[in-house]
DNA sequence: GTCAATTACGTTCTCCGTAAGGATG
DNA sequence: CATCCTTACGGAGAACGTAATTGAC
């Protein structure tokens, strides 16, 4: 059996003739000269191995084999049309889906504006946002359930990583606190202060310890930043939190003072699966995230 | 949206690469140089309007859009493959169907051998044989339920007609009848004989009347030739029947004597629908029928 | 005689292969 | 530095258009 090599144009030509029963009119519909069209049909029949049309100069009709083929080709043609237009819709972001995981602070501070802009530009793309801690976010990314994960820390070899920001930490305290008026503080100055900490599993705590700010034995430890803010507001101590977490404390009427320490910085990274391309929809989302991160740096 | 022009080769190339994750190996599978293959993929992506593969010189993977497309293309490819091979099977008569209508005498005399030969050559073609009178056969043909009808008479303008044979008539009588020894008889010699007739609706009777052999007022009229044969065998008269009907009488031990009369002939025709092509399977059947008719003429 | 499909032929353009270029691990 | 994809370029063949030919009504 001969090698088949039919193009979409061939299928169109075949169906056009099957429908028009007339070479000249079908040729026009295909934007071809009538002669070229005739040759094309002849070639198609040759690869088919059987006459598909019965021609007398007056009438053109499908042979029984042609009718069978026409039915099958009609379906195939539609499927292909559909596949290509589907692709096109994905390419132009008229349909699609993007899933992002982000640390809670990022999800709360950056993502609302990011998603707002993205949605305005791509109203029909479905967006999934997971606000998770480090562990859960990397798991989602590993399983392919999210396109990207906005995390903290840079020692991730499993994924492709882009640094979005390297944020400083702030001391947070009540307005009446002795640090409240300072332009900045150093870790050394905190000696003897009651410091309220997040749980050991949090990225914030891990960065603090890496910078040498170990917790006192009897220090308070809680899970959520909102709780930290409430405890600080109550005067039970101060805390040290990264910039992206400050909104919790500003809301509570507390004061933030930058901590000056070269080592106490938290890199915010955008992690992607290695060797796995982003969808068009996800690429556009990453663009928005990068744009937001650039703005935040200023 | 750009004009799409994908060929089956393109689809094969795309799927080969999607599967192999490797340009060079996929190119080999498609019997193409690696360079040509690369260009082909580039063209496909251009018509797709979106990158389908993520290439780093080391790894080739599908983009999310490419994965979607691959799934759809896989199905389309299979459908097309199937459609073409289906066509091929029809063309080579490995599958198919042919339906024939034939007058009872033709069905009984010619068709057994015709069908036997056809079936030997085309064991997988389904054959339908309708043994019908003229009216029913033409109706089946008109409705497209049979490919051809082997009928009698030539005044059919509705269909395309080929004459297969122009058969003479024979007088049939008992061996003891005075005509039994003759080489031939004329219609004139039958004056005064008891002639047993078929019903007026039969083609045999119509031909007889057209040739001037009108029935006597009190002549016996029956529906079936087998009955005529039985009546003749009983000595109730003679009959005049076309050659293809003789088997009924020979079986009954009766004698056949040719009738010499220029006008008393029955043309056997092969009728087809006008402007409607025969299937490959039907064409082969017509060939067998023509062959049988040629043999019968000798 | 007219309309319509096929055939003939010259042109254009697509597609392929060889070979050079460039990127990645 | 070896592998492998891409780009450059030239040639072969396919596809197309114009025009002549054939065939049917």
Tens-digit pLDDT profile for residues A139-157: 999 999 999 999 998 677 8
For residue B191, what pLDDT is reported?
A: 84
Q: How confident is the model at residue A234 (pLDDT cuts 50, 70, 90)?
A: very high
pLDDT for residue A241 = 95
So what's the pLDDT on residue A298? 60
Mean pLDDT for all residues in chain A: 93
pLDDT digits 0-9 by tens, B47-75 = 999 999 998 777 899 999 999 999 999 99
Res A213: pLDDT = 79
In this predicted structure, what is the pLDDT of residue A249?
96
Burial B66-96 (b: 16+ CB within 10 A, else e): bebbbebbeebbebbeebbeebbebbebeeb
Name every residue in B having a CB less than 8 A away from some CB of A: 1, 4-9, 47-51, 54, 56, 59, 61-65, 68-69, 72-73, 75-76, 79-80, 82-84, 86-88, 90-92, 275-280, 282
**How far apart (Å, rounded) are the C-alpha atoms in residues A292 and B11?**
40
> What per-residue confidence (pLDDT) applies to A41?
96
- Nearest CA to A186 among A168, A198, A200? A168
Tell me the helices (H) and strands (E) count for chain B, helix number first: 11, 11
Which residue did the predictor score with more confidence, A215 or A37? Answer: A37
User: Exposed (0-12), middle (13-18) or buried (19+): which is A131, by Cβ within 10 Å?
Assistant: middle
- Give CA–CA dist A27/B91, Å, rounded: 26
pLDDT digits (tens, 9 = 90+) for B160-176: 899 999 999 999 999 99
Digit-coded pLDDT (tens) for A36-78: 999 999 999 999 999 999 987 778 999 999 999 999 999 999 9
Residue of A nearest to B4 (CA): A8
3-state secondary structure B136-193: HHHHHHHCCCCCEEEEECCCCCCEEEEEEEEEEEEEEECCCCCCCCCCCECHHHHCCC
Q: Which token pair is A162?
A: 């882009």
pLDDT band at A99 (very low <50, low <70, confident <90, very high): very high
8 A C-beta contact, residue B58 and residue B44: no
Q: Hey, are the CB atoms on A8 and B4 less than 8 Å from each other?
A: yes
User: From CA B219, how far away is CA B240, in angstroms rounded?
Assistant: 13
Distance CA B225, CA B105 (A): 9
**What are the residues facing A163 on neighbouring strands?**
A269
Give the nucleotide at minimum CA-to-C1' distance from A34.
Answer: C5
Q: How is residue A89 written in tokens? A: 């819709």
For the stretch B176-186, what's the b/e string if a residue is b when 16 or more beta carbons lie within 10 angstroms of its beta carbon? ebebbeeeebe
- The minimum CA-CA distance between A152 and chain B, rounded to whole Å, is 26
| Chain C bases having any atom below 7 Å from a protein CB | 3-8, 15-20, 22-25
Q: Which residues neighbour A89 within 8 Å (Cβ) at sequence distance 6 or greater?
A: A95, A96
Concatenated DSSP letters of B224-286: -HHHHHHHHHTTS-BEEEEGGGHHHHHHTT-EEEEB--TT-EEEEEEEEETT-PPPHHHHHHH
Q: Which among B50, B71, B59 is positioned nearest to A280, based on CA atoms?
A: B50
Q: How far is CA A35 from CA A10, A13, A24, A26, A136, in A?
A: 15, 13, 9, 11, 65
Give the distance between the most distant pair of CA atoms in chain B.
104
Structure-block tokens of residue A29: 């519909």
pLDDT at B200: 86
Task: To the nearest 10°, report the CA torsion of B23, B26, B30, B36.
Answer: 0
Q: Which domains does chain A have, with CATH numbers?
A: 8-91 (1.10.10.10), 97-164+266-297 (3.40.190.10), 168-265 (3.40.190.10)
CB B100 within 8 A of CB B291: no
Cβ atoms of B272 and B171 within 8 Å: the answer is no
Q: Report residues of chain B scoring pLDDT below 70.
A: 1-3, 154, 298
């Amino acid at each position: 059996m001969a090698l088949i090599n039919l193009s979409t144009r061939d299928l169109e030509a075949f169906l056009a003739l099957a429908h028009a029963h007339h070479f000249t009119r079908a040729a026009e519909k295909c934007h071809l000269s009538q002669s070229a069209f005739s040759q094309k049909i002849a070639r198609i029949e040759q690869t088919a191995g059987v006459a598909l049309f019965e021609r007398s100069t007056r009438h053109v009709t499908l042979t029984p084999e042609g009718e069978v083929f026409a039915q099958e080709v009609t379906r195939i043609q539609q499927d292909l049309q559909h596949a290509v237009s589907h692709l096109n819709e994905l390419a132009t972001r008229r349909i699609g889906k993007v899933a992002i995981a982000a640390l809670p602070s990022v999800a709360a501070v950056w993502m609302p504006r990011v998603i707002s802009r993205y949605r305005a530009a791509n109203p029909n793309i479905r967006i999934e946002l997971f606000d998770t801690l480090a562990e859960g976010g990397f798991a989602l990314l590993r399983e392919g359930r999210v396109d990207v994960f906005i995390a903290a820390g840079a020692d991730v070899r499993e994924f492709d990583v882009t640094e979005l920001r390297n944020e400083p930490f702030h001391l947070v305290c009540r307005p009446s606190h002795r640090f409240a008026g300072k332009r900045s503080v150093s870790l050394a100055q905190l000696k003897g202060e009651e410091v309220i900490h997040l749980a050991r599993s949090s990225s914030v705590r891990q960065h603090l310890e890496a910078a040498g700010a170990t917790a006192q034995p009897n220090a308070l430890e809680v899970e959520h930043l909102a709780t930290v803010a409430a405890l600080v507001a109550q005067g039970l101590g101060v805390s040290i939190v990264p910039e992206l977490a400050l909104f919790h404390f500003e809301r509570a009427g507390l004061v933030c003072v930058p901590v000056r320490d070269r080592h106490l910085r938290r890199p915010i990274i955008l992690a992607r699966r290695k060797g796995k391309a982003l969808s068009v929809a996800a690429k556009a989302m990453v663009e928005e995230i990068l744009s937001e991160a650039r703005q935040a740096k200023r």
